[in-house]
Structure 1
């Protein structure tokens, strides 16, 4: 998009509709000129998110069905399918094999397969994907159900292994990195190894914090600085790479 050249940063995974004042959160992201992908956790939230971002310059809404909600909301998949034609952005979707959600894994896989298949049919979709304790299964399903020429996955807050990250890159995936990933030895080691031409930044706000408050899109500037520190490069090189990566991603799916 043309406005990408004027962006001051990229927050490719944020939940603006979960802030106390949804409209004000959008307005702050716009004022900060942060290209923000605001994800939804249920298709029932889509209409309001679409309404508030239809005319924004920097904020885009994604259509989601969060894996942690599938146990209660799997029946909303047809509703998700109904709205898919209204957006090129999909998320938050994926799998979660953590202890609280493992029991719904079969239902999660059914929903995620349906999402991948519908995206492949539609073409030109960009997906932000959750893969907690399930990176291998997520990559298996991406490989099987979403050909690289039919859509692109951005792995949000990726916590898989380095070998899984290499496999993801081979499958055409991008990675959105947040500040929490840069605060652990394991996360820093992974961030150091990710291909620079596949890195985007994110906050996952309000689920992450900065100085005791929920992260906001403007906080991605600090994330870019942390990535630069980890990789021993100037912060300007990271911000330029992220901007270039966003341009490349959007160009793949006009």
Structure 2
């Protein structure tokens, strides 16, 4: 069985999240378990520390910054123990616009801390804020100090090209490919910068949240969008993940997913 890749999933938001991690192990699903607040990270890290296929990412979700921005100090305290960072970024949608300036301040500090530490891999949220996010990445996170995965990217085509120029990867989910614009954006991205994700439990099928194993549902649509054979896609995505994980990680205490 070829390995699968779920580069962005909120495992700890499922009621059976610990057994779900075992499901990832049993089915060979390389899963980046993003968190929404720093307080959630220690338990995630403890549960996943012994896993081969699952890693916990240290997050401070932009949609929660308005209420949880004071946890940034806690996030900074944990950073040395995590190679993976997410979900972080900026959300300029109507519901969260009132906290936009606070979000930008928090994201700036996150990028600067990652740049100082070096060797981090970030899963970044950029709803209605792609230009803001890309400006901040360019200013505060040099290419040789951190790697960025643009999660569920919904920016313009020119913003997508700019993200590619900045060295970003893109994690694509089923919902993204349901729109013509999403499929067009995917075709702009070099094949070797693509990863797959579920963004479960937020993305659902027939009212049921997708699980990491369900990332395989995405393969036919993604293969069609980028004109490759569906049975070749898992190996291609696995190679992309391996290349990303081979990116330098100078922090000796940061555990790494062993590439496929």
Q: TM-score range by the shorter chain?
A: over 0.9
Cα separation, 1, equivalents of 2:186 and 2:158: 13
Asked if 1:31 corresponds to 2:17, the answer is no
Runs of 4+ in 1 over 6 A off after TM superposition: none
**Are residues 1:191 and 2:186 paired?**
yes
Measured in 2, the distance between the counterparts of 1:184 and 1:134 equals 19
Q: Which of these residues, 44, 58, 63, is aligned with residue 53 of structure 2?
A: 58
CA deviation vs aligned residue, 1:95-129 (integer Å, no higher than 9, x gap)? 00000001101100000000000000000000000
Matches within 5 A, 1:89-238: 89-238=84-233
Is the contact made by 2:58 and 2:86 (CA closer than 8 Å) also made in structure 1?
yes
Q: How many residues align?
A: 249
Give the match for residue 76 of structure 2.
81
CA contact (8 A) 1:177 1:202 kept: yes
Does residue 250 (structure 1) correspond to residue 245 (structure 2)? The answer is yes
Q: Partners of 1:145 and 1:42 in 2: how far apart?
A: 22
Q: Provide closer, same or farther for how the CA distance between residues 13 and 114 of structure 1 changes in structure 2, counting only shifts above 3 A.
A: same
Instruction: Please list the CA deviations of residues 48-98 of structure 1 after superposition, one character each: whole Å capped at 9, or x if unmatched.
Output: 000100000100000000000000011110000000011100000000000
Corresponding position of 2:17: 22
**Cα pair 2:2 2:234 within 8 Å, conserved:** no
Distance in 1, matches of 2:234 and 2:28, equals 14
Partner of 2:175, secondary structure, is helix
Give the secondary-structure state (helix, strand or coil) at the position aligned to 1:61.
Answer: strand
- Give how far 1:7 is off: 5.7
Contact kept? 1:154, 1:174, Cα under 8 Å: yes
- How far apart, in 2, do the equivalents of 1:31 and 1:147 lie? 37
- CA-to-partner distance for each residue in 1:166-189, whole Å, 9 max, x for gaps? 100110100000000111111111
Structure 1 contact 12–176 (Cα < 8 Å) conserved: yes
CA distance in 2, matches of 1:89, 1:249: 12
RMSD between aligned residues: 1.1
Query: Given the two structures, how large is their TM-score scaled by the length of structure 1?
Result: 0.96
CA distance in 2, matches of 1:197, 1:119: 24
SS at match of 2:136: helix
Could you tell me which runs of 5 or more consecutive residues in structure 1 were left unpaired when the two chains were aligned: 1-5
* TM-score (norm: length of structure 2): 0.93
